[in-house]
Amino acid sequence: MFKRILVAVDGSKTSLGALDKAINLQKLLPEAEIYILCVYKHHSLFEASLSIGRPSDMDIPDKVLSEYAKEVVNHAKELAKEQGATRVRGFVKAGRPSKVIVKFAKDKEADLLVVGTRGTHSDKDGMFLGSVSHRVAAHAKCPVLVV
Protein backbone atom coordinates (compact mmCIF):
# COMPACT_ATOMS: atom_id res chain seq x y z
CA MET A 1 0.00 0.00 0.00
CA PHE A 2 2.47 2.70 1.16
CA LYS A 3 6.11 2.21 0.21
CA ARG A 4 7.42 5.75 0.75
CA ILE A 5 6.09 7.75 3.69
CA LEU A 6 7.28 11.35 3.81
CA VAL A 7 7.16 13.09 7.19
CA ALA A 8 7.77 16.82 7.41
CA VAL A 9 9.33 17.85 10.72
CA ASP A 10 10.30 21.18 12.21
CA GLY A 11 11.01 20.13 15.79
CA SER A 12 7.54 21.07 17.04
CA LYS A 13 5.37 18.72 19.10
CA THR A 14 2.87 18.32 16.27
CA SER A 15 5.56 17.41 13.75
CA LEU A 16 6.95 14.81 16.14
CA GLY A 17 3.37 13.52 16.52
CA ALA A 18 3.30 13.16 12.74
CA LEU A 19 6.55 11.20 12.95
CA ASP A 20 4.94 8.93 15.54
CA LYS A 21 2.06 8.14 13.16
CA ALA A 22 4.48 7.38 10.34
CA ILE A 23 6.44 5.01 12.57
CA ASN A 24 3.25 3.20 13.57
CA LEU A 25 2.29 2.88 9.90
CA GLN A 26 5.70 1.45 9.08
CA LYS A 27 5.24 -1.18 11.78
CA LEU A 28 2.12 -2.30 9.88
CA LEU A 29 3.92 -2.05 6.54
CA PRO A 30 7.54 -3.14 7.18
CA GLU A 31 8.50 -2.72 3.52
CA ALA A 32 7.72 1.00 3.73
CA GLU A 33 10.51 3.52 3.99
CA ILE A 34 10.18 6.71 6.02
CA TYR A 35 11.62 9.90 4.56
CA ILE A 36 12.06 12.63 7.17
CA LEU A 37 12.25 16.14 5.72
CA CYS A 38 13.01 19.44 7.42
CA VAL A 39 12.66 22.62 5.36
CA TYR A 40 14.20 25.91 6.40
CA LYS A 41 13.48 29.30 4.89
CA HIS A 42 16.23 30.44 2.55
CA HIS A 43 17.74 33.85 3.31
CA SER A 44 19.57 35.76 0.61
CA LEU A 45 22.84 37.50 1.31
CA PHE A 46 20.90 40.76 1.02
CA GLU A 47 18.56 39.70 3.83
CA ALA A 48 21.54 38.69 5.92
CA SER A 49 23.17 42.08 5.34
CA LEU A 50 20.16 43.99 6.74
CA SER A 51 21.21 43.37 10.32
CA ILE A 52 22.16 46.63 12.03
CA GLY A 53 24.91 45.18 14.18
CA ARG A 54 26.61 41.83 13.82
CA PRO A 55 29.34 40.21 15.81
CA SER A 56 32.37 39.42 13.68
CA ASP A 57 31.84 35.66 14.00
CA MET A 58 28.17 35.69 12.92
CA ASP A 59 27.26 33.09 10.35
CA ILE A 60 24.88 33.96 7.56
CA PRO A 61 21.31 32.88 8.39
CA ASP A 62 21.22 30.04 5.84
CA LYS A 63 24.16 28.29 7.44
CA VAL A 64 22.70 28.56 10.93
CA LEU A 65 19.25 27.46 9.78
CA SER A 66 20.68 24.60 7.75
CA GLU A 67 22.61 23.32 10.76
CA TYR A 68 19.51 23.56 12.94
CA ALA A 69 17.46 21.69 10.32
CA LYS A 70 20.09 18.93 10.26
CA GLU A 71 19.84 18.65 14.05
CA VAL A 72 16.04 18.40 13.81
CA VAL A 73 16.29 15.63 11.20
CA ASN A 74 18.96 13.71 13.13
CA HIS A 75 16.89 13.94 16.32
CA ALA A 76 13.82 12.70 14.44
CA LYS A 77 15.80 9.80 12.94
CA GLU A 78 17.06 8.82 16.41
CA LEU A 79 13.51 8.91 17.80
CA ALA A 80 12.26 6.81 14.91
CA LYS A 81 14.94 4.18 15.40
CA GLU A 82 14.33 4.12 19.17
CA GLN A 83 10.67 3.40 18.44
CA GLY A 84 11.51 0.53 16.11
CA ALA A 85 11.51 2.15 12.67
CA THR A 86 13.78 0.21 10.36
CA ARG A 87 14.07 2.06 7.05
CA VAL A 88 14.53 5.77 7.74
CA ARG A 89 16.24 8.46 5.65
CA GLY A 90 16.65 12.13 6.48
CA PHE A 91 16.71 15.17 4.21
CA VAL A 92 17.16 18.93 4.63
CA LYS A 93 16.01 21.45 2.02
CA ALA A 94 15.79 25.23 1.79
CA GLY A 95 12.80 27.19 0.55
CA ARG A 96 9.16 27.86 1.28
CA PRO A 97 8.13 24.84 3.37
CA SER A 98 4.79 24.02 1.72
CA LYS A 99 6.19 24.23 -1.82
CA VAL A 100 9.33 22.29 -0.99
CA ILE A 101 7.41 19.55 0.84
CA VAL A 102 4.98 19.06 -2.07
CA LYS A 103 7.78 19.07 -4.66
CA PHE A 104 9.92 16.70 -2.59
CA ALA A 105 6.97 14.30 -2.23
CA LYS A 106 6.48 14.34 -6.00
CA ASP A 107 10.20 13.94 -6.78
CA LYS A 108 10.58 11.02 -4.35
CA GLU A 109 7.25 9.49 -5.45
CA ALA A 110 5.94 9.47 -1.89
CA ASP A 111 2.79 7.40 -1.41
CA LEU A 112 1.80 9.25 1.76
CA LEU A 113 2.69 12.61 3.25
CA VAL A 114 2.38 13.04 7.03
CA VAL A 115 2.40 16.53 8.57
CA GLY A 116 1.49 18.08 11.89
CA THR A 117 -1.49 20.41 12.12
CA ARG A 118 0.61 23.31 13.32
CA GLY A 119 4.32 23.77 13.41
CA THR A 120 6.13 26.53 15.20
CA HIS A 121 3.42 29.12 14.48
CA SER A 122 0.64 30.17 16.80
CA ASP A 123 -3.03 29.52 16.07
CA LYS A 124 -3.45 33.15 15.02
CA ASP A 125 -0.67 32.82 12.41
CA GLY A 126 -2.20 29.65 11.02
CA MET A 127 -5.62 31.27 10.83
CA PHE A 128 -4.53 34.43 9.04
CA LEU A 129 -1.59 33.25 6.98
CA GLY A 130 -2.70 29.70 6.19
CA SER A 131 -0.66 26.95 7.76
CA VAL A 132 1.85 24.78 5.97
CA SER A 133 -0.32 21.72 6.57
CA HIS A 134 -3.29 23.35 4.83
CA ARG A 135 -1.22 24.34 1.80
CA VAL A 136 0.42 20.91 1.61
CA ALA A 137 -2.94 19.14 1.81
CA ALA A 138 -4.32 21.39 -0.91
CA HIS A 139 -1.45 20.90 -3.37
CA ALA A 140 0.00 17.41 -2.78
CA LYS A 141 -0.65 14.78 -5.43
CA CYS A 142 -0.56 11.94 -2.89
CA PRO A 143 -2.70 11.35 0.21
CA VAL A 144 -1.89 13.62 3.15
CA LEU A 145 -2.36 12.62 6.78
CA VAL A 146 -2.61 15.71 8.98
CA VAL A 147 -1.92 14.84 12.62
pLDDT at 40 over 50: yes
DSSP 31: T
Residue 122: per-residue pLDDT? 46
State if pTM tops 0.85. no
pLDDT at 56 over 70: no
Residue 105: per-residue pLDDT? 98
Beta bridge pairs of residue 30: none
- Judge contact between 120 and 13, C-beta under 8 A: no
Distance CA 124, CA 127 (A): 5
Q: What is the pLDDT of residues 107-122, one digit of tens each?
A: 999 999 999 987 554 4
Domains of the chain and CATH, by start: 4-146 (3.40.50.620)
Beta strands in the chain (DSSP E): 4-8, 33-40, 88-94, 112-115, 144-146
Question: 73-103 b/e with 16+ CB inside 10 Å = b?
Answer: bebbbebbeeeebeebebbbbeeebbebbbe
- Judge contact between 61 and 122, C-beta under 8 A: no
Confidence of residue 47 (pLDDT cuts 50, 70, 90): low
- Judge contact between 32 and 4, C-beta under 8 A: yes
Coil, helix or strand at residue 100? helix
Confidence of residue 23 (pLDDT cuts 50, 70, 90): very high
pLDDT at 144 over 80: yes
